[in-house]
A = this chain, B = another copy of it.
Amino acid sequence: MDQPINLGEKLGLLSEHWSPRVVAEMNDYQFKIVKLEGEFVWHSHEETDETFMVLSGSMRIEFRDRVIELGEGDLYVVRKGVEHRPVADAECSVLLIEPKGVVNTGEAGGDLTAKNDVWI
């Protein structure tokens, strides 16, 4: 990587929802931008924590026993193995940070499972 990654510029290239795109790698971790709108599927990642950082808009992460509301500039780490469901009433842009190889729907699978390791 010889140039900085501008997250706003990268977001401008992404129109699909629920389709994470890799923008950078650090060791064996990846930074991915994703746009959310609507309700995702309940899922968990058995092997790793997963970090959400809201770049614009707002969203919530539903857990089986509570809901976490996130706005611009908020960061939240979902712990490994914990079932969660991201929901955005209106389009929300997020930076995900997690190890390379994490699939967006975790153990759940289904139609919203995105192709992994796609760069933008």
What is the size category of the interface that chain A forms with chain B? 20 to 34
Residues of chain B within 8 A of A71, CB atoms compared: 6
Q: Tell yes or no: A27 within 8 A of B by CB.
A: yes
Q: Tell yes or no: A15 within 8 A of B by CB.
A: no
- Chain A interface helix/strand/loop/mixed: strand
Q: Tell yes or no: A29 within 8 A of B by CB.
A: yes
CB closest chain-B residue, reference A77: B26
Residues of chain B within 8 A of A1, CB atoms compared: 76-77
Cross-interface CB contact of A73 among B2, B7, B27, cutoff 8 Å: B7
Interface residues of A in 65-82 (CB under 8 A from B): 66, 68-71, 73-77, 80
